Amino acid sequence: MVDVEYQPVGDQGVLVVFGDVIDDFTISSVQALDAALAADPPIGMTEAVPTFTTLLVCFDPLITDHPSLTAAIENTLNSVAAAISSDLDSGSKAGSKAGRTHTIDVCYEADCAPDMHAVCARMDLSPASVIAAHSDASYTVGMYGFAPGYAYLHGTPSPLQIPRNPTPGPPRPAGSVIIAGQQCLIIPSVLSTGWYAIGRTASAVMTDDDNHPFRFDVGDTIRFNVIDHDEFHRQSTDLINKRAYHINNDR
């Protein structure tokens, strides 16, 4: 049984609250409801916004209202509740049933990993063990937030769960892989942050394709593949050439 709370959001939504604590069961429950509502949207639903512990379901107030939408959500939730429980019993990781799996090439060396030394010092680890721990783990896309394209990945293993720095550090380039607590992010644009940059990818998390502008959806699984500095540079150059090709062909 999934126990939730429904809260009104102005004249435009209902917030489904699954709990306060970020854990696999809560994330799985949010994502199962999100997927079920997407597959069969209630009348008047306009969009759904998942976070780690809640799902906002927005509606058109000219078509439906809070009680009608809440009843529809409750029905959908009941129909997926059994599936959520059995998944968890069988030991599946959060979100692993819902989405696609992406493997992202990451360079953890030199200027791609400006905060590697800080993480090693703070967590008492060698660079090799940081890289092994980070790239062996699998991550779930838990939510987007902050700004367009910022996908919050859940699953940073406990030896790497470094508290975020209260003051933002120097700007990190797009493609930086940053960590703090249980979370990990691939930043789509330059950012000054209190998180720690331990690697960098040449793969763009936001694309120029208007039909698929974001590579990840909530519920997808992300894995990281270690590449060296030469390979990173080769991929970066490829990306720049591809972009230039697209721009020239758009004209």
Partner 1 sequence: MTTAMLRVHQAGPLVTIQDSGRPSQMRFGVPASGPMDPFAHRVANAVLGRPSDAATIEISVGGLMLECEVGPITVAICGGGFRIEHNSLRCSAWTVVTLHPGDNLRVAAGDYGSWCYLAFSGSLEATRWLSSCSTHVRAGLGGRVVTAGTELIIHDASADEDRDGPVEPPIDARPTRLLRVVLGPQPNCFGESAVETLLNREFTLTAASDRMGVRLNGPTLPLGDALSIASTPIVRGSLQVAGDGTATLLLADHQTTGGYPKIATVLSDDTNRATQLRAGDIIRFERVEPHEAIVAARTSASLRNRQLEALSKRPGIEARQLLSTNLIGGIHHQADTDTDTDTDTDDVPTETTVA
Pairing between strand 221-227 and 101-107? parallel
Q: Which of 25, 65, 137, 159 binds partner 1 (CB under 8 A)?
A: 65
Taking the complex as a whole, how short is the minimal distance between the CB of residue 71 and partner 1, in angstroms? 14
How far is 141 from 118, CA to CA, in rounded Å?
A: 26
Taking the complex as a whole, how short is the minimal distance between the CB of residue 144 and partner 1, in angstroms? 4
**Site track for partner 1 across 224-243, x = CB under 8 A:** --------------------
* Residue 36 engages partner 1 in binding (rule: CB under 8 A): no
- C-alpha dihedral, 139 to 145 to 148 to 152, nearest 10°: -10
Taking the complex as a whole, how short is the minimal distance between the CB of residue 41 and partner 1, in angstroms? 11
User: Which residues inside 151-190 make contact with partner 1, applying CB under 8 A?
Assistant: 151-152, 189
C-alpha angle 200/120/130, rounded to 5°?
A: 55
* Residue 144 engages partner 1 in binding (rule: CB under 8 A): yes
How many residues would you count in the chain?
251
Burial of residue 219 (number of CB atoms within 10 Å: 0-12, 13-18, 19+)? buried
Taking the complex as a whole, how short is the minimal distance between the CB of residue 56 and partner 1, in angstroms? 4
Q: Which of 40, 46, 157, 230 binds partner 1 (CB under 8 A)?
A: 46
* Residue 73 engages partner 1 in binding (rule: CB under 8 A): no
Nearer to partner 1, 54 or 76 (CB): 54
Name residue 139's amino acid. Answer: Y
Alpha-carbon distances of 38 from 48, 49, 210, 222, rounded to whole Å: 8, 11, 20, 21
Q: Which of 58, 81, 132, 174 binds partner 1 (CB under 8 A)?
A: 58
Burial of residue 126 (number of CB atoms within 10 Å: 0-12, 13-18, 19+)? exposed
Instruction: Specify whether the CB–CB gap between 187 and 175 falls below 8 A.
Output: yes
Taking the complex as a whole, how short is the minimal distance between the CB of residue 34 and partner 1, in angstroms? 8
* Residue 217 engages partner 1 in binding (rule: CB under 8 A): yes
Q: Which of 28, 29, 31, 54 binds partner 1 (CB under 8 A)?
A: 54
Instruction: Specify whether the CB–CB gap between 158 and 112 falls below 8 A.
Output: no
* Residue 195 engages partner 1 in binding (rule: CB under 8 A): no
For residue 159, what are its two tokens? 């030896």
* Residue 39 engages partner 1 in binding (rule: CB under 8 A): no
How many residues bind partner 1 (CB under 8 A)? The answer is 44
How far is 87 from 91, CA to CA, in rounded Å?
A: 7
Helix (H, G, I), strand (E, B) or coil at 108: coil
User: In the complex, which residues of this chain contact partner 1 (CB under 8 A)?
Assistant: 7-13, 15, 17, 20-22, 46-54, 56, 58, 61-62, 65-67, 143-152, 189, 210, 213-214, 217-218
